[in-house]
A and B are shown apart, each in its own frame.
Chain A
Amino acid sequence: MKMTSLLAASALAAVLAVPTANAQETLTIGVLVPTTGSEATYGQDMANAVELAIEEINEAGGVLDGQQLTSVVGDDACDAQQAVNAASKLASSDVVGIVGGYCSGATLPTLQIFGDANIPMIIPAANSTQLIPANPGNAFMINSTGNDQVAKAMEYFEANDVESLAIVHQGDAYSQDLAELTRERWEEAGNTVAAFEVSSKGEQDYSAIVTNIRSANPDAVFWTAYYADGALLIRQLREGGYQGLIAVGDGSNSPELFNIAGPAAEGVIGFSNPTAEFLPEAAAFTEAYTEKFGNAPGPYSTLTYDATKLLAWAIEEAGSTEADAIIAALESADYQDAIAGPISFTDENTLARSNFVVLEGQGGAWQLAE
């Protein structure tokens, strides 16, 4: 017994002693997602997706002549201040690139940090239009922005005879941006915004807002912030007797919405970027993910997986780990292998096409509405 382990140890030592400079080096990808706090579900799914993508890349021989990839996760807790701390830590820890950014409000202040450190960043989820002017040029957004979501939402409302709309947001970069864009476009199109309300994050009681909405009596209510508070609003709207259409933005399309809101969430409409369960191309990814982590991939796992693969592709394309070369490779990317569809960027480093779909809550789960 002792003999074999000794032999094994010396064999291992012999293997390690072989001078394979490249093969021993590992490249680290920084992952910035909320793994605690209200959005922890999404964040953990995203961190898992990076892990899965890295595992597959490494099994296929790594990048740049066999260098292996690894990841380090920074927790932004969907909070601007914590995001700055986590980003500073990642920026100073020798990472080749960043995959991350879920909450736009938390992502916004990190752009400058990664910009100053000149680290390429791929943002899989955060999609506030406020991120676009704040981008120093090193960040790339592979999720369609708020502009595309508003277009999809308006198309749906108009097709369903909605004339007056109530909009509720939470005052953070993401939900406020989406709410104000919707209001602007909706009014430009000659429709009515019956109520425009704001709630504070962590507030449980929406009764005053519900009363305002009921008195304005809109055809539809559009909640632009995240699922945890959105579920409370949906419950209280239904409990308070509101019977019109309720729609939620892409921050609320988590299955958790149904656990909290219960039967009140039946028939709720959600706008979503393409998630694994609704993409035929994602079957293999869903299977691998479910097998590895024991739960289904969340709504942003697909895009995060794509982002990680895209970063690896860009490193390969650049032929080095030089930030400027990777950024140049991303700028001119025409990447066809993404699950959620081909990726190329506009001059503003945003995705060159819209990728939103319409979902409906049925039987306690999201289903494709079309």
Chain B
Amino acid sequence: MSLFDILAQQLVNGLVLGSFYALVALGYTMVFGVIKLLNFAHGDLYMVGGFAGFFALSLVAGFAGPGWFGVAISMVFAMLAVGFLGVVIQRVAYQPMLAAPRLSILITALAVSLVLQNLVLALTQGQYTPFGANLGFGGINLGNLYISNNQMILVGTAGVLMLALELFVSRTQYGRAMRAVAIDKDMAQLMGINVNRVIALTFFAGSGLAAAAGTMAGAYYGSLWYFMGFLVGLKAFTAAVIGGIGSIPGAMLGGLILGLLESFGTQIPGIGSEWRDVFSFSVLILVLVFKPTGLLGKSEQERM
């Protein structure tokens, strides 16, 4: 393989990885948009989403098969189930803390993360769960570049989901309400917007996207375990900050950039795969230092 081939291949790798990061980063950024909470339990919703998809697949594999069709049905189920779980978490854990200082709700989010992880730990006894999907091999060769069918389906699905979200937020009445709440919650309420319903809707959509990513990751990579959300959660948070937290296009862009950075980062002589995580988190620090609002974030005055 020539250097060009390698870089092209890493571009493909980065797009796949970036799609996962982007889907999870969207939930981070949407929740931050409406209630200014860094929802550290979000990575664990990705994990729970993987298990919900696994559960659904074991039910539907009989008639839908363990291929992409079965996985697609499971993914829809996981998105709905985890979407509702996200709403329940918001109602039970975050709603009572909305009036409390910002730090209290942040700690609550960490607690929710621990609860979800340990719940799944108890249910799976810490074992790796084989996802059980059978996606098959195959793909296309462009010279030395190889793109598998699965990679194309993954990136395509992530793209459709992100496009749907973008249309929802920019074109529908609920989307407008969501944007209004993000700009000024109190004023939105005075304008007759049911803020609580908008917040619930935001959690539903964000959690659903994380679940979609979790199910696809389970099917593509092949296994699930209770701690799989931790690293992805951190990376998605990084992606959200790179793109500008609170900005939906920013989260998509940030996810893709982070995925590409990680793939290309392993090519830089002297960095290599050993420093992959160091590399991504260094980028987070640099962004925080030089452009704290991220690439697409708007600077915002603190309202009292």
Contacts and interface: CB of A to CB of B under 8 A. Distances in A.
Contacts, number: 102
Interface in A178-212: 197-200, 202-205, 207-212
A184 B231 CA distance: 32
A37 interface: yes
B121 interface: yes
Given A40-B126, A202-B231, A215 B150 contact: no
Given A204-B221, A235-B221, A38 B126 contact: yes
Interface in B1-48: 1, 5-6, 9-10, 12-14, 16-17, 20
B125 A260 contact: no
Interface in B155-174: none
Contacts of A241: 146
Nearest to B17: A205
B196 interface: no
A241 B225 CA distance: 26
Where chain A touches its partner, the secondary structure class is: helix
Given A38-B126, A239-B137, A215 B230 contact: no
Interface string A7-43: 0000000000000000000000000000111101100
A205 B258 CA distance: 13
Given A202-B231, A208-B276, A211-B6, A261 B128 contact: no
A202 B137 contact: no
Contacts of A240: 146, 148
Contact of B221 (A77, A210, A212, A232): A232
B134 A262 contact: yes
Interface size band for A? 35 or more
B222 A235 contact: yes
A256 B128 contact: yes
Contacts of B222: 231-232, 235, 260-262
A198 B128 contact: no
A197 B272 contact: yes
A208 B228 CA distance: 19
A198 B121 contact: no
A235 B6 CA distance: 20
Question: For A203, A204, A210, A261, which residue has the most chain B Cβ atoms within 10 angstroms?
Answer: A204
Interface in A99-130: none
A198 B273 contact: yes
Interface in B216-232: 217, 221-223, 225, 227-228, 230-232
A198 B271 CA distance: 11
A94 B161 CA distance: 58
Nearest to A39: B126
B227 A202 contact: yes
B266 A239 contact: no
Contacts of B127: 40-41
A34 to B, nearest CB: 8
A235 B10 CA distance: 18
Contacts of B126: 35-38, 40, 77
Interface string B118-142: 0001000111101000100100000
A137 interface: no
A171 interface: yes
A214 interface: yes
B276 A228 contact: no
Contacts of A231: 222-223
B247 interface: no
A82 to B, nearest CB: 12
Given A205-B221, A231-B223, A261-B222, A212 B128 contact: no
A228 B1 contact: no
A259 B277 CA distance: 28
Contact of A204 (B12, B217, B272, B276): B217
Contacts of A211: 6, 9-10, 13, 263
Given A38-B126, A41-B127, A228-B128, A208 B223 contact: no
Contacts of B274: 171, 197-198
Question: For B223, B225, B227, which residue has the most chain A Cβ atoms within 10 angstroms?
Answer: B223
Interface string A219-253: 00000000010011001101111000000000000
Interface of B: 1, 5-6, 9-10, 12-14, 16-17, 20, 121, 125-128, 130, 134, 137, 146, 148, 150, 217, 221-223, 225, 227-228, 230-232, 262-263, 265-267, 272-274, 276-277
Given A198-B274, A203-B231, A228-B223, 18 more contacts: A36-B125, A38-B227, A41-B127, A198-B273, A205-B221, A207-B263, A208-B267, A208-B276, A211-B13, A212-B6, A215-B9, A228-B225, A231-B223, A235-B221, A236-B221, A239-B148, A240-B146, A240-B148
Pick the 3 closest A-B CB pairs, nearest first: A207-B13, A36-B126, A198-B274
6 contacts: A198-B274, A208-B265, A208-B267, A211-B9, A231-B222, A261-B222
